[in-house]
Structure 1
Amino acid sequence: MSAFKDKPSSAIVATSDVERARAFYSDTLGLELQEDGMGDVLVYKTGTTWLLVYPSDFAGTNKANAVVWDCGDDIEAIVADLRAKGVTFEHYDMDGTEFANGIHRAGNFRMAWFKDPDGNILHLNSA
C-alpha cells in the first residue's frame, strides 16, 4: 500500500512579488483567494485541489511545468479568454503537433502553456 495513494496533494509555486502574483492568479486567471493570512502565502481552491503561491528568492527558476489544469473541451474558450487578458502562450516545437492560437494539437489532444509573472510554467490540457 502506498502511503500517498489516498492523500490529497496541492500545487505550489513561488513568487518574487506577492501582490503581483495576487493580481495575476486572482484577476487574470480568475481564481478565488481562499486564504492570505499565512505570512504572504496565497491559497487558492482550484477544482478539488489547492494552489499555494508563496514568496521565494527562487521564483521562476523551474524550467518545467509547475501546475497543470485538465480543462477538457473548455480549453479553447479558456485560452481565448486568457489571450484577451494579455496572456502570451508558449510555442514549443514537438513532433506530431500543430500550433495555432496558443494551442498545440496532437490529434484530439490539446495543450497550452503560459507563464505567470515570475516565469513559472503553467499548463492547460484537454484530458
Structure 2
Amino acid sequence: MFKEVHTVLPAADLKRAQSFYHDALDLDPAEVHDGFLVYRLDSGNAFEIYETSNAGTAKNTQIGWVTDDLDGEMTRLRTRGVVFEDYDIPGMKTVNGVATMDEMKSAWFRDTEGNFVCVSEML
C-alpha cells in the first residue's frame, strides 16, 4: 500500500523559486540538494521543487493547500505580491479571485515558475 503522497513542481530557475516560496509563502526548504528542494509542512505533507526546462508548461492546478480562512490567507499573500487568477469559464467564475462551489471556495495563483497553485477553504 502507498504510505504517503507529495507533489513535485518544476522550476526553470530553482533559486528564483526558492525566493518566491520564502518571500511570498513564508516556506523554507527542509532539504536542499543539487537540482531540487524538499519542503516539509507541519502537517507531515511534503513537496519538492526541481530544476527543469519544462517548467511553466502545465495548464492545470499543480499543488493545492487547504486553509481555514481563505480571505485572510489571500490578504496575507496579496501583501507579499501574490496575484490571484480570475476565471470565467463554463462551470466556474471567480469574483475577486475566488470561485465558490458547493463545498468549498478556492483561489489560484501562479508561482514564479508558472505553476498553478490553489488555496481552498472547505465550507
Q: Above 0.5 in TM-score?
A: yes
- Where do 1:1-127 residues align within 5 Å? 3-4=1-2, 7-36=3-32, 38-46=33-41, 47-71=43-67, 73-95=68-90, 99-107=94-102, 109-127=104-122
For normalisation by structure 1, the TM-score amounts to 0.85
- Cα deviation for residue 32 of structure 1 reads 2.7
List structure 1 runs of 4+ shifted beyond 4 angstroms. Answer: 94-98
In 2, Cα distance between the equivalents of 1:51 and 1:10?
5
- What is the one-letter code of the residue matched to 2:85? E
For normalisation by structure 2, the TM-score amounts to 0.88
Structure 2 regions of 5+ residues with no counterpart?
none
Alpha carbon RMSD of aligned pairs, Å? Answer: 1.7
Say how many residue pairs are matched. Answer: 121
- What is the one-letter code of the residue matched to 2:110? K
In 2, Cα distance between the equivalents of 1:80 and 1:100?
15
* Matched-pair contact (CA < 8 Å) for 1:98–1:106: no
Structure 1 regions of 5+ residues with no counterpart?
none
- Cα deviation for residue 122 of structure 1 reads 0.4
* Matched-pair contact (CA < 8 Å) for 1:32–1:44: yes
In 1, Cα distance between the equivalents of 2:93 and 2:85?
13
- What is the one-letter code of the residue matched to 1:60? G
- Cα deviation for residue 96 of structure 1 reads 5.9
* Matched-pair contact (CA < 8 Å) for 2:12–2:53: yes
